[in-house]
Amino acid sequence: MKKQFGPSDALFPVPAALIVSGTKEEANIITLAWIGIVSSTPPTIGISIRKSRHSLELIRSTGEFTVNIPTASFYKEVDYCGIVSGRGNNKFADTGFTQMKSSIIDTPIIRECPYNIECKVTHDIMIGDWALILGEIVETHIDKDKADESKRGGIDISKINPLVYCAEVREYWTLGNLLGFGFNAGREIKTKLKDA
Ligand SMILES: Cc1cc2nc3c(=O)[nH]c(=O)nc-3n(C[C@H](O)[C@H](O)[C@H](O)COP(=O)(O)O)c2cc1C
């Protein structure tokens, strides 16, 4: 039996990422859960920001932003950046996060986040009160102690320990147990799930 739930924006889990906008002097941090990769060639990320956000003004003024993936231990700082606006507040000073210079763009990355993505805006599409901003990924950074060349993708996810967010219940989670590897991890592909 299922219960009809009606049209809803409920989707879970989602990431809880920190997006930096603006340049050094006025850099701001916003927490976003509505974010995802939308193309691999060119590598492109989509973020959805409500039109009232200070971050949207900054992203539109520079045409750039960075995406910073926090470890789960930062969930309180992540929540803070998702409650307080950068209008009249300095979220770097308030959280203790520090800026680090990006390689390609002028918007900084967050030093304390183990994975960072530099993006240049390519599209800005309004959907109701929300701006869907697409950014081409021009560089990525990973903390050396979280990189592992022996792993596919070169990242040790257990060391990154990313946050998982369930917006409908406003809960932050960590990842659970590793269940197995995906279809493209070099194994023979079975044509029927029951044969696997
Ligand atoms: C976990 C979490 C996820 C959020 N996701 C989004 C989102 O995807 N889009 C959005 O516009 N606001 C989102 N928010 C709300 C903004 O982060 C919040 O309004 C923030 O204070 C705006 O900051 P700013 O005015 O400095 O840009 C989220 C908040 C939290 C706590």
Q: How far apart are CA 179 and CA 116, in angstroms?
A: 26
pLDDT grade for 181, boundaries at 50, 70 and 90: confident
With beta carbons less than 8 A apart as the criterion, state whether 66 and 102 touch: yes
pLDDT of the residue at 98: 98
**Which atom of ligand 1 approaches the CA of 82 most closely?**
17
What are the tens digits of pLDDT across the range 72-131? 999 999 999 999 999 999 999 999 999 999 999 999 999 999 999 999 999 999 999 999
**Which atom of ligand 1 approaches the CA of 49 most closely?**
11
Q: How far apart are CA 191 and CA 183, in angstroms?
A: 11
Strands, DSSP E only, in the chain? 14-15, 17-21, 28-32, 35-40, 43-50, 64-69, 99-100, 109-110, 115-127, 130-142, 163-166, 171-174
What are the tens digits of pLDDT across the range 35-77? 999 999 999 999 999 999 999 999 999 999 999 999 999 999 9
Ligand 1 binding pocket, CB closer than 6 Å: 16, 28, 30-34, 48-50, 53-55, 79, 82-87, 165
